[in-house]
Structure 1
Amino acid sequence: MVEKVKISRLQFSLLVMMFTIGSSILIIPSGLAKDAKQDAWIAVLVGVVVGIVLVALYIALGKRYRSMNLAEYSEVILGKWLGKTVSMLYFAFFFLLSALVLRNLGDFLNTYQLTKTPIIATHILFLLLVTFAVHLGLEVFARSSELFFPWAVVLSILLFFFLSPQIEFKNLQPIMEGGVQPIVRASITIIGSPFLELVVFLLIFPSINQIHGWKTGFFSGYLMGAISLFMTTISAILVLGADITATQMFPSYEVAKKVNVADTFQRLEAIAAFIWFLTIFIKLTICFYASAICLSQALNLKDYRVVILPLAMIMIILSIIAYPNTAYYLTFVSTTWPPLALLFGLFLPLLLLIISIFKKRLAK
């Protein structure tokens, strides 16, 4: 079920960029530094190269069914019942991802900002805003990305500029001390989240109103997001060092605390938090929107909005029980999530593309 709205190529590109940054900007540097240590920035570059291949795969699949989304052409390629099964599987994947992103936000706020506020209250307040955005539709939160983008860019540039006196290039040495294996192992983390999660945009392709250039929009949005992740990771290593980065749950926030320019500009972590709220809002909104679209397609509903409120209520509970503590979450992200993301972000889209090609050749 394609929503009857249209967004511009620029809006699509900004959605891709902010989704790629999402909550990953909070947690990715820590996971990479645990495996690759001071070579975490190299792991990001390896992941970015693989991510380009993934984006090319999604473009190739979306191009074949320009007027349909992932849930719709799954039924065309695999048949009605197998297609609906795939839609339900993607619904579960995107819904679980939504709950995890919401929990990341709740953990961050409860750790640094709202330490005495129950985490469920934080989740409810933020999800109310996300639910409202999803109800208004794709066109509305796509326009929101245009509004947020200048703020995110300007504040990010200011933050990196003020951090420059704290940079220690010796923190990058020795390069490749542990060899290639730790770098490859770390790159799997960033490939699993967020690059494999970009499959979600197969549900938004049909809503782009510019037929020509949407491929460029996808690539440009992806590269801008990847550059942001690279800059965040290398900044954490340069300022904090690999050991401290690896032990922090949210190292990029700790980096923002290090800002000190002539004892005048200090502790600019509020700026960093504001940027993250914007990107997390966009990512959570897209994931929630995608899960509602997949479920409504599988159930043959005319309007996805009828499932928004029930899903929001379920998500509140799921976000609380998704992982009981930080140690469990770190284990889940490093061991369970990459193969799960690989199934939905690579194997299923690749299978759909191959079957589609064979069916077209057989038809000829």
Structure 2
Amino acid sequence: MPNKNAISLRQFTVLVLLMTVGDSLLVLPAIPASEAKHDAWISALAGLAFSLPILWLFGIANRRFQGLSLIEYVHERLGRTVGTVLGLLFLLFPLTCSAVQIREIGDFMITHILPETPIQAIHLLFIAVILFGAAQGLEPIARTAEILFPWFLLLFTTFVFFLFPQIDFRNVQPVLGEGVKPVLRGALTAAAFPYSELVILLMIAPYVTNREKAGKSLFVGAVLGGLVLITVVSLCICVLGHYVSGSQLYPTYTLAKKISVGLFLERLEAIMAIMWFISAYFKITIYVYALHLGIAQTFKLNGYKPLLLPGGMLLVSLSIAISPNIVHFQTLITRYWPYLDFFYAIVFPLVVIGAHALRKAENSGPGGAAGKMKPEAR
């Protein structure tokens, strides 16, 4: 193993929560708002409910690993050739997800904060910080997340507290006025982005000190992160209304601009930007770490750190090449990306569980190890 860093259950839970929030904090509310209108908060709740079987599937797969990562497990159970093919197919997921999330950061920065700065410069600066974090290893990443999490929680509490006086519950009426189908369409995306993408945690779950309870920690962290997102979606609808929330690329950032306390505390959108940077940073860093760790495990390398620089250069190029402009990028994300997330979140854990069941059946059959009697016992 190239890295034997161990993290505690609490650190793992914090990582799961921050990864669940991730980039969804800024971009997710627009999608259910455009589909379900004023029922977007119901879509967010339904998305969490629909994700529970997926999270349960992750927990089952993790118990089958027996201390191995997903890449190591498919190599051991399915053989070198099939394991390598499946492993490389799986690694396409963190590769594309990392590039997409870096692109989201670049688009946001040139849209709202640094409009005159080339997007390539923003990508280079951000990927440099990500590569530095990934090079430190899993334990320093988890410890840093544990340190920054109270600040994230403080900023989120402040954000909700200052917006609470502006809530107008008339914006959520009538409930289910558009029917159930729009709610289900919004719930599809609400389940895909935050929760299905947690499948990458099957690469680092073996490093949790108490592996037997890692599945429970994953479940708890994902649900807590989901509650944060449900709160944010509900605030967008109750304060901005469904039309503004659905028409904005970053409705949560627009929501933060609504904070106004007296005549001295206004325009605190920096609160939202800091929360987003914290959660998105740890999500991308874990993806980049898992990507390079998986490559090292696939090709039996001694370590993953020499891969970080060329991998970072590839991610910067891919983040630009993945879409020609922000409109095309948003169409790609909203229409097609959820199906890719569901494919990796459902198919690969099922492959792991199926391989485990097949090996168990072979070992317990007449020709297996359990079915071979000693000569003197016959």
**TM value normalised by structure 1:** 0.97
Once the 2 structures are TM-superposed, how far is the Cα of residue 92 of structure 1 from its aligned partner? 1.1
Correspondences of 1:97-246 after superposition (within 5 Å): 97-246=97-246
| Higher-Rg member (1/2) | 2
Correspondences of 1:1-364 after superposition (within 5 Å): 1=1, 3-364=3-364
Once the 2 structures are TM-superposed, how far is the Cα of residue 180 of structure 1 from its aligned partner? 1.1
Once the 2 structures are TM-superposed, how far is the Cα of residue 111 of structure 1 from its aligned partner? 1.1
Once the 2 structures are TM-superposed, how far is the Cα of residue 345 of structure 1 from its aligned partner? 0.9
Amino acid corresponding to residue 174 of structure 1 in structure 2 = P
Whether the 8 Å CA contact 1:30–1:250 is kept in 2: the answer is yes
Whether the 8 Å CA contact 1:98–1:287 is kept in 2: the answer is yes
Whether the 8 Å CA contact 1:66–1:205 is kept in 2: the answer is no
Whether the 8 Å CA contact 1:3–1:207 is kept in 2: the answer is no
Deviations 1:267-299 (A, max 9, x none): 110111111110011011011111112212222
CA RMSD of aligned residues (A): 1.2
Which stretches in structure 1 are left out of the alignment for 5+ residues?
none
Structure 2 Cα separation of the partners of residues 228 and 344 of structure 1: 24
Whether the 8 Å CA contact 1:189–1:333 is kept in 2: the answer is no
> 1:192 aligns to what SS in structure 2?
helix
Structure 2 Cα separation of the partners of residues 65 and 36 of structure 1: 39
Deviations 1:16-48 (A, max 9, x none): 000000001111000111111111111111111
Structure 2 Cα separation of the partners of residues 186 and 351 of structure 1: 28
Whether the 8 Å CA contact 1:90–1:291 is kept in 2: the answer is no
2:372 matched to which residue of 1? none
Tell me which stretches of 4 or more aligned residues in structure 1 moved more than 3 Å: none
Amino acid corresponding to residue 325 of structure 1 in structure 2 = N
Whether the 8 Å CA contact 1:2–1:206 is kept in 2: the answer is no
Worse-matched range after superposition: 110-119 or 349-358: 349-358
Whether the 8 Å CA contact 1:85–1:298 is kept in 2: the answer is no
Once the 2 structures are TM-superposed, how far is the Cα of residue 89 of structure 1 from its aligned partner? 1.1
**TM value normalised by structure 2:** 0.94
Deviations 1:116-147 (A, max 9, x none): 11111111111111000101111111101111
Deviations 1:286-320 (A, max 9, x none): 11111112212222211011211100001111111
Structure 2 Cα separation of the partners of residues 215 and 70 of structure 1: 14
Worse-matched range after superposition: 50-59 or 145-154: 50-59
Structure 2 Cα separation of the partners of residues 334 and 18 of structure 1: 22
Once the 2 structures are TM-superposed, how far is the Cα of residue 212 of structure 1 from its aligned partner? 4.7
Aligned length: 364
Worse-matched range after superposition: 76-85 or 227-236: 76-85
Structure 2 Cα separation of the partners of residues 63 and 195 of structure 1: 19
2:367 matched to which residue of 1? none
Deviations 1:31-75 (A, max 9, x none): 111111111111111111122211111111111123100000011
Whether the 8 Å CA contact 2:45–2:230 is kept in 1: the answer is yes
Once the 2 structures are TM-superposed, how far is the Cα of residue 2 of structure 1 from its aligned partner? 5.9
Whether the 8 Å CA contact 2:31–2:186 is kept in 1: the answer is yes
